[in-house]
Amino acid sequence: MVETLGIYRRLVGSRIRSQLQYRLSFALTVTGNLLLSGLDFAAILVLFGQVDALGDWTVGEVALLYGISCVSFALTDLAVGQLDQLPRMIREGEFDQILVRPLGSLLQVICADVALRHLGRLTQGAVVLLVAVAYVDVTWTASRIAMLLVAIVAGAAIFAGIWVAFSSIAFWLIDSQEVCNAFTYGGNYTAQYPVNIYGRWLRRLVLFVVPVAFVSYFPALYVLDKPDPLGLPEALQFASPAVALITGAAAWLVWRTAVRRYRSVGS
């Protein structure tokens, strides 16, 4: 395990170094990413210029949802976002090369690179989160702060599981990238808004299938001490870590099955 981390550090370290080489270019890229991902929040602000609440959530409360979702997602993007390259790696034979090395295939794909520009998303998400934390009418007890942190970590794990699972589609379908994007980036977008504004089918989706409701919605209910507009059991508000574990396990299974199939069928 320690060795694995060491390898990760080295693989990724050189990528990071090469990206930081051109300071100005790097700064521009990160800023661009910050602004681009920040557009989502700009949209929220515009909406709140017309109303005081969306689905009974005020602007500060929605900002909290947004902040948790963005920070979690940005962390995941930095950690496993490299999976977006999987279709290309398969197409160009790089994945075969990975299979010939004495390391797990998923680890190698993830470590192949890291796109530091997502620090932009992380920054704007963190800023919104901090502002929301200051803005909402909440007494910040230790348990609430802990819930916030747990939400971010578990949220990142949930997003990572979703990312790994849907990236595996690349082993079945070519040109599958957009489908995966719908669930990763789409998942992030979904978690920025309160789940109760969605139609029933979508609510079910984000609770049971692509469980992004557990990234921001449920932890926020706890933190804000807010009665659930959906009237779901309060216990769910503590379920994020469990959901993260389940999602991770499911993702791992999907990946392994996908790779096994790839090795049977070729490319």
Partner 1 sequence: MARLAHRRSTLPKRGLVIELDGVEKTFTLRVKSGRVRRERREVRAVDGISFRVDPGELIGYVGPNGAGKSTTVKMLTGILVPSAGRISVAGLDPSRQRIKLARRIGVVFGQRVQLWWDLPLRDSFELLRHIYRVPENRWRANFDRFTEVLELGPFLETPVRQLSLGQRMRGELTAAMLHDPEILFLDEPTIGLDVVAKARVREFLAEVNRDQGVTVLLTTHDLADIERLSSRLLIIDHGRVIHDGTIERLIADYGEERTLVVDLQEPAEPLEVDGARVVRVEGPRQWLRFRRDELTAARLAAAVAERAPLVDLTVEEPDIEDVVRRIYAEG
Partner 2 sequence: MLRLGFELARRGYRRYAAYPGATWAGVFTNTFFGFLIAYALLAVFDSRETVGDYDARDAVTYAWLAQGMLMTIYLWGWFDVALRVRSGDVATDLQRPLDFQGYWLAHDLGRALYHAVFRGIPPFLIGALVFDVLVPQDPRVWLAFVVSVTLAVVTSFAFRFLFNLVAFWLIDYRGAATLAMVASTFFSGQIVPIAFFPDWLALAAWALPFAAMVQAPIEIWLGHAQGLELLGLLGLQAFWAAVLLLIGRAVLAAGMRKLVIQGG
- DSSP letter at 205? I
- From the CB of 122, what's the least distance to partner 1, in Å? 24
Examine residue 102 and tell whether it contacts partner 1 (CB under 8 A).
yes
Examine residue 248 and tell whether it contacts partner 2 (CB under 8 A).
no
How many whole angstroms separate alpha carbon 218 and alpha carbon 228?
Answer: 9
- From the CB of 86, what's the least distance to partner 1, in Å? 16
Among 28, 99, 130, 209, indicate the residue that binds partner 2 (CB under 8 A).
28
Give the Cβ contact number of residue 135 at 10 Å: 15
Examine residue 11 and tell whether it contacts partner 1 (CB under 8 A).
yes
Nearer to partner 1, 92 or 225 (CB): 92
How many whole angstroms separate alpha carbon 237 and alpha carbon 217?
Answer: 8
DSSP string, 20-79: HTSHHHHHHHHHHHHHHHHHHHHHHHHHHTT-SEETTEEHHHHHHHHHHHHHHHHHHHHH
Examine residue 141 and tell whether it contacts partner 2 (CB under 8 A).
no
How many whole angstroms separate alpha carbon 76 and alpha carbon 55?
Answer: 28
Examine residue 76 and tell whether it contacts partner 2 (CB under 8 A).
no
Q: Decide which of partner 1, partner 2, none touches 182; Cβ closer than 5 to 8 Å per partner kind.
A: partner 2
Site pattern 244..263 for partner 1 (x: CB under 8 A): ----------------x--x
Site for partner 1 in 41-100 (CB under 8 A): 92-94, 96-97, 99-100
CB contact at 8 A, 203 and 228: no
